[in-house]
Structure 1
């Protein structure tokens, strides 16, 4: 396999005389030759009947294509070929093709090549399959099967579908490999300078816009600060401009299509999160999400791991993995949406997606710059992000690949600012998430990529934290919720659904829908819950989780062996009950 013409030569369109090729072999011609139009050719020979000399023949297989390198991932799996090809219209393109697409007739490989403009002869598709199968290039590069950070021997690299960002020549050692050659969410338009002038500058003076852009930049910091996620949810009235804030954030990485909606299954969002790993997942209109599933989806996005599934042959397939910032919007909070399905958000979900009020002076905005009102300002931004997008994110990463500071330590330092002060563990987690977001914006200013004032991004993050803490930020931990639920149940039903263990049932009022019994001693009253009563009192938490919290708080005062329950004889029958005595304190312990 060889090239008869230098790939960089354009040619004048006239057929050129190519030297006689070795047969059988494949050759690529970038200009028309005596064999025909530019492309990959198979030069063969057939033996006619009799003693005649072999007869040469030449078959045009497809438009120009070459194999630059062999690929495989860091584990030595996911082998492939790095292909370079020239459609009849447009520039040269590259695709790291998984070798598994050559299974069978290779139809999947041909489909992807044709989708990207390669012309393939109907008579030559078997020859294209043979050419690809025979490619054994000397050059080898690492195949990255997901977008985002990858650690190389001499540093780190950030892999995107059509470019790799790294120091020096490291970028040539790793490439993105995918079954779908044309997949690229990171579209570009305009320039970084035009985005800064027409979009970035208008964010200044608007804390929600600064916060949204900073959140979009926070994704690449997750790996560098050893975190899995940071997410905020802008809550505000319809048509107040919060969707515009999402579109401005989307312009950091791509065009308007970079913004998605919540109208997707959990499985679908897993695939999107994996495709956008180490950047940001932007989801509009939480009201369109399935209220039954959204709690699990928020957990999954924060945990960074999808569900384990079987491949087509039944073998276990590696689950999707990602690290990602999340920026969401809606007219309702996560808790309000989940309540529609009778669900209640757990503490871990609440801090993975922080509800931030989006009500400002002019809808979602404070400073309209040269525009007359909030609607005009939003419309202007929508027009500008459609013309200028996709440059800030990669430029930010180009600086991060050279960053040597301990950014995790920087997050901790900012989280100790007075504006983030809190003594509550969950609020501390929220403070660190918003400190990370603020740090992303401040780094962009430091790197000279934004024209905001120094400190503006961190101020927006602090303001968001204080708004969250004043509203949803007071959410209790799961332990606190469990204790509050049980304490409230006893207060409501302690007289009606319990009776004393020594009471004579023949001379006592009938207890309907019994939850248990009570027993008094020198330390106070102990409530002996039956299993059904305690399950109801936990208010949606399962029995194992509930008894863990009760035991940790010291509310379970009697137990047997490894069980958190005890067998007690009542009215001649031995029953397994949970002996619970709420702590006498004005404050329920965490």
Structure 2
């Protein structure tokens, strides 16, 4: 290694070594080397023997050549060197004189990392930032490929100072490190197991076993930030949730994610709730309150953003919580697949550049969504229909039909808006504490959580009639259980039973909205009714009117006929009936209409009736919605 370019004025060689009287300079991008330059800092300082004695600086015994990290100032032959990673070598071109090359600020490789399956290897790095605070980063070894540009960029972002000419030496040092310690590299948040036991991993914190670390290419990417105190959150946020079913449900939903694995014993996927109702009635506020369990207001995402980065977003919230606002902003054509993906917990397989396939992203999470309409209604805008499986995975809850929109009690505020603003101010000052405290209590809890979950599902208020309801109960019971555990741990200040009662009320509201009939049958009936409400006067006209009276009808769907006090019967032509109920086979549509008694007239052995209109005979479906069907 040639070092002739780096001779300083003291005769000691080092990368850009200068005395302490010289000013450092910030490096820039070296285009020739194609690498990121670091911070140009003084490496050595000449001091007198008296100053050495007073400072009691360490004089290390160095066996050259070697790399060494010095955490404090040190002496070599009476010359004071600042802390950092050094290459201590010998200049073969200059009478074998020693060289001391400052590479970067102090950094250590404390352990080798790998996931539970012996893959995703990396290094646990420990370094000091400009605030004199030690930090850690589990760096994937894959970041050493090529010039290591991304690795250095991340270290610079974390506060490591790198010499402008230290890039290659730093790369060599990192590539040569083989620390004896081994720890588990957690590639996603949430529950992990190691030799020391169970751990819950967040980007900047590990709760439980100490031999696990979060490993990512982006060490600064952390949604799980904290502000304020738990006590202030309890006083200013949790206290206002009392007597407000939607707020109790929302906070409990935020706490339910960690229970998916340890109580529900679910390996992948999740479930969720969709709060629907009029705009500006408190739904978004409920999501912000729920987001404060784990992080700042920015912890909440939107459906539009999630559609573009679904897998990364869901994986980053593994075993925690994903609040999604404004489903109306999402593409109606895509939202059905998004619901399935979120609930199934497995991302798409993607090919590697070198061949083969990458491991798919995986997650477990609870989703809390909001929007002005039901998911099925939103999907229908693109001509798609929501399937029973999708409805069971994201449960529609009417959320704004309480006395003050989404709120039952304003706790002394003058209006619903004032109450919402009060909650928003509180959650902007206090957040991120409850989730961490809840995990710590869960790890210490010796209860049989799977048995407790099973008992919660068996509550008489959670009785079911079909498989869809059973799946819904599994979600509501888990949410209610999470809120009750947090209350039992002393984390909410709520009364015992508040959280589970909110979950029961939500289940009953969901079931009432869904109805007791089969979901697909109700969808068909609702679609026909909606079509008549939307087009009854614009695409139908009265049977018997002259041809001239019907000239204003564009894209005719049929005719209608008065039935006295019983209203109208609508005569659908075949294309219009298929248009009214997209996604279903015509036979299925007619079966449901006939079973519901909505087909009032038909020819023998048929469900249509041949009718003469304007001199020609055409088959029509005579349909009159039944007001007693509750759709």
TM-score (norm 2): 0.72
Quickly say closer, same or farther: Cα 1:378–1:140, change in 2 above 3 A: same
1:292 CA displacement: 0.5
Quickly say closer, same or farther: Cα 1:120–1:463, change in 2 above 3 A: same
1:466 CA displacement: 0.9
- Alignment match of 2:222 (pick from 175, 181, 184): 184
For residue 250 of structure 2, what is the aligned residue in structure 1? 212
2:340 is the counterpart of 1:299:
yes
Between the aligned partners of 1:275 and 1:193, the Cα distance in structure 2 is 27
1:277 CA displacement: 0.3
Alignment of 1:43-442 (within 5 A): 43-48=88-93, 52=95, 54-89=96-131, 91-153=133-195, 155-166=197-208, 171-224=209-262, 225-227=264-266, 228-264=269-305, 266=307, 268-359=309-400, 360-442=402-484
Between the aligned partners of 2:523 and 2:327, the Cα distance in structure 1 is 25
Task: Please state whether the residue corresponding to 1:283 is helix, strand or coil.
Answer: strand
Quickly say closer, same or farther: Cα 1:400–1:66, change in 2 above 3 A: same
Asked if the contact 2:196/2:210 (under 8 Å) is kept, the reply is: no
Task: Please state whether the residue corresponding to 1:394 is helix, strand or coil.
Answer: helix
Asked if the contact 1:482/1:539 (under 8 Å) is kept, the reply is: no
Quickly say closer, same or farther: Cα 1:56–1:542, change in 2 above 3 A: farther
5+ unaligned residues in a row in structure 1: which ranges?
A: 1-10, 486-534, 551-590
Asked if the contact 2:245/2:502 (under 8 Å) is kept, the reply is: yes
1:428 CA displacement: 2.0
Between the aligned partners of 2:414 and 2:450, the Cα distance in structure 1 is 42
Asked if the contact 1:15/1:32 (under 8 Å) is kept, the reply is: no
Offset from partner CA, 1:156-190 (integer Å, 9 cap, x none): 22111111112xxxx22111111111111100001
Between the aligned partners of 1:458 and 1:373, the Cα distance in structure 2 is 27
5+ unaligned residues in a row in structure 2: which ranges?
A: 1-51, 528-577, 593-631
Asked if the contact 2:230/2:434 (under 8 Å) is kept, the reply is: yes
2:82 is the counterpart of 1:37:
yes
Asked if the contact 2:288/2:300 (under 8 Å) is kept, the reply is: yes
Task: Please state whether the residue corresponding to 2:162 is helix, strand or coil.
Answer: coil
Between the aligned partners of 2:221 and 2:214, the Cα distance in structure 1 is 11
For residue 488 of structure 1, what is the aligned residue in structure 2? none
Between the aligned partners of 1:68 and 1:95, the Cα distance in structure 2 is 10
Quickly say closer, same or farther: Cα 1:15–1:182, change in 2 above 3 A: farther
Between the aligned partners of 2:425 and 2:132, the Cα distance in structure 1 is 27
- Alignment match of 2:583 (pick from 540, 549, 574): 540
Offset from partner CA, 1:229-287 (integer Å, 9 cap, x none): 13101112111111111011001001111000011354512111001100011100001
Task: Please state whether the residue corresponding to 2:304 is helix, strand or coil.
Answer: coil
Between the aligned partners of 1:265 and 1:203, the Cα distance in structure 2 is 27
Between the aligned partners of 2:347 and 2:521, the Cα distance in structure 1 is 27
Asked if the contact 2:383/2:583 (under 8 Å) is kept, the reply is: no
For residue 457 of structure 1, what is the aligned residue in structure 2? 499
Asked if the contact 2:252/2:480 (under 8 Å) is kept, the reply is: yes
For residue 511 of structure 1, what is the aligned residue in structure 2? none
Between the aligned partners of 1:476 and 1:279, the Cα distance in structure 2 is 32
Task: Please state whether the residue corresponding to 1:316 is helix, strand or coil.
Answer: coil
Task: Please state whether the residue corresponding to 1:97 is helix, strand or coil.
Answer: strand
Quickly say closer, same or farther: Cα 1:537–1:371, change in 2 above 3 A: closer
Asked if the contact 1:35/1:58 (under 8 Å) is kept, the reply is: no
Quickly say closer, same or farther: Cα 1:536–1:153, change in 2 above 3 A: farther
Between the aligned partners of 1:475 and 1:106, the Cα distance in structure 2 is 61
Asked if the contact 1:190/1:388 (under 8 Å) is kept, the reply is: yes
Between the aligned partners of 2:193 and 2:164, the Cα distance in structure 1 is 43
Task: Please state whether the residue corresponding to 2:369 is helix, strand or coil.
Answer: strand
For residue 511 of structure 2, what is the aligned residue in structure 1? 469
For residue 560 of structure 2, what is the aligned residue in structure 1? none
Task: Please state whether the residue corresponding to 2:301 is helix, strand or coil.
Answer: strand
Between the aligned partners of 1:484 and 1:382, the Cα distance in structure 2 is 37
1:363 CA displacement: 2.1
Between the aligned partners of 1:374 and 1:43, the Cα distance in structure 2 is 68
Between the aligned partners of 2:347 and 2:132, the Cα distance in structure 1 is 38
1:345 CA displacement: 0.4
Asked if the contact 2:251/2:289 (under 8 Å) is kept, the reply is: yes
Asked if the contact 2:187/2:215 (under 8 Å) is kept, the reply is: yes
Between the aligned partners of 1:478 and 1:331, the Cα distance in structure 2 is 22
Quickly say closer, same or farther: Cα 1:46–1:254, change in 2 above 3 A: same
1:374 CA displacement: 1.2
1:25 CA displacement: 1.3
1:17 CA displacement: 4.5
Indicate the larger mover: 256-265 or 456-465: 256-265
Offset from partner CA, 1:302-343 (integer Å, 9 cap, x none): 001011111233430111100000001111110111011111
Between the aligned partners of 2:127 and 2:515, the Cα distance in structure 1 is 54
1:537 CA displacement: 13
Between the aligned partners of 2:88 and 2:197, the Cα distance in structure 1 is 44
1:449 CA displacement: 1.1
Task: Please state whether the residue corresponding to 2:174 is helix, strand or coil.
Answer: helix
Between the aligned partners of 2:214 and 2:111, the Cα distance in structure 1 is 13
Offset from partner CA, 1:475-500 (integer Å, 9 cap, x none): 73569989999xxxxxxxxxxxxxxx
Offset from partner CA, 1:409-450 (integer Å, 9 cap, x none): 323322232322232221121122101100000010111111
